[in-house]
Chains A and B, each alone.
Chain A
Amino acid sequence: MENKPPGEDVENVVAMPSMSNRLSGADPDWSEMLSRLAESKDKTLYIALFRHFAPRVKSYLIRLGLVDTVAEELMQETMLAVWRKSHLYNSNKAAASTWIFTLARNKSIDLMRKQKYPEYDLEEWQEEPDHQDNPCEQGVISDRMNSAINTLPENQAQVIYMSFFEGRSHADISDRLGVPLGSVKSRIRLASEKLKTMWRDGV
């Protein structure tokens, strides 16, 4: 295997990707396009989605510690899954970026661990709550989330970054940063609660 364990070559001090100059309002509605792809199997939609997401998926895989050739191959598998599984996409449950993130995440884990990532059942065990407290367009949630992440204190943004882009467990982050496990978890909790509150209240 030529891929390294996640994050082995990453410096101790992580650089957060800059997200401040993104003009979210100007983006096409990717979620709506992905939904239409499921129905129409229209290749021009697929090409547009590829051009936007493929370079980002590859960027994510490289950050996880995969070398370029492996990242390229896994990106292609992920984007092929976007085509094949589009009928499973539900725009009421997730934004297109979220759904594609989970596809790429599962592919990378399947490869690195040679074990399938345990997923929860798709069919319902219990009725979903009939109403959501704040029915909200997924796209709007994404925009709010984006500005919310930029307001996190550095030490909270760092643990979120290390979880999502270095694939580090709580114990691993605790070793890396030299802070107790309990503090790592409370930083993650604080960051997450803060993001959720900002979502609900519209920042």
Chain B
Amino acid sequence: MNIKHHLDEATLVSYAAGSMSQAMALVTACHLSMCPQCRERLAHSEAMGGVILDALPPAEVAEDSLQKLLACIDEESDIEAVLLDRPDINRPHKDHSDKGIPTALGDYIGGSLANVEWKRIVPGVYFHDLPCKSERGGVSRLLRIAPGKAMLPHSHDGNELTLILQGSFSDEIGRFTVGDIADLDSEVEHQPLVDSDVDCICLIATDAPLKFSTLLGKIVQPMTGF
């Protein structure tokens, strides 16, 4: 995997702060799973949260807080505690799911892209909505586009994140392959064209509805909720 397109600095800060919608956080977490460079950048953004936390004026905690916790801790044996919180026991291990599907997404689609039930928008273009909460009428969905097909040209009122899970596309910005993320805001109008010989599958999230600039787009929009 040779990732060329990364998360915007402002997106990383928003993820670290926990202040982005569930839909946007899912795409961000999936790119982070695939990209060691952005993970290292995130560590610095999260350190910002740690430093500010440490500098906050302390609030008053209930008198019996500490006693309650110590009693709780006494009740659990160490072994139980370790078992309860081992992530690899609670979650299906990556080996059991598709290669290339981050766990955060796998949790929503039964661990594999093969399980996804696609709906057709127009010939060669399919989508599957995810149950993640978005904001301001934004979307959280998987998109599958056949080779040679293009997404409808559109621009945004807000942020849009698109992560490539399979195949590739090119648009006005460049070429996007597996692991790459297009992190765009309202300044950009683009029309991604699939240039791989397999279907291109992307995970997308927006925090506002997309604005289509063609008549076809305007007609299709109400039907797809894009």
Contacts and interface: CB of A to CB of B under 8 A. Distances in A.
- Do A and B pair up? The answer is yes
Interface of A: 17-19, 22, 41, 43, 46-47, 50-51, 54-60, 62-63, 71-72, 75-76, 79-81, 83-85, 87-88, 93-102, 104-106, 108-109, 113, 115-129, 132, 138, 141-142, 145-146, 149, 160-172, 181-182, 184-186, 188-189, 191-193, 195-196, 199
B66 A50 contact: yes
Given A71-B59, A83-B73, A97 B54 contact: yes
A101 B10 CA distance: 19
Interface residues of B, number: 79
Contacts of A121: 33, 94, 102-104
Interface in B47-99: 47-62, 65-66, 68-70, 72-73, 76, 78, 81-82, 84-85, 87-88, 94
20 contacts: A17-B56, A43-B73, A46-B73, A56-B58, A59-B59, A62-B59, A63-B56, A75-B61, A101-B53, A118-B22, A118-B25, A118-B132, A120-B33, A128-B40, A145-B51, A160-B52, A163-B19, A166-B19, A182-B185, A192-B10
Q: Most chain-A CB neighbours within 10 Å: which of B14, B18, B29, B82? A: B18
Given A58-B59, A59-B56, 4 more contacts: A80-B69, A93-B43, A98-B46, A117-B25
Nearest to B45: A192
Contacts of B88: 123
Nearest to B25: A118
Nearest to B135: A169
A164 B17 contact: yes
B150 interface: no
B34 interface: yes
Contact of B47 (A62, A95, A168): A95
Contacts of A166: 19
B69 to A, nearest CB: 6
A102 B103 contact: no
B25 A149 contact: no
Nearest to B39: A120
B162 interface: no
A97 B51 CA distance: 7
Contacts of A160: 13, 48, 52
A146 B34 contact: no
Interface string B93-124: 01000000011100100000000000000000
Given A41-B78, A72-B62, A60 B56 contact: yes
A128 B36 contact: yes
Nearest to A75: B61
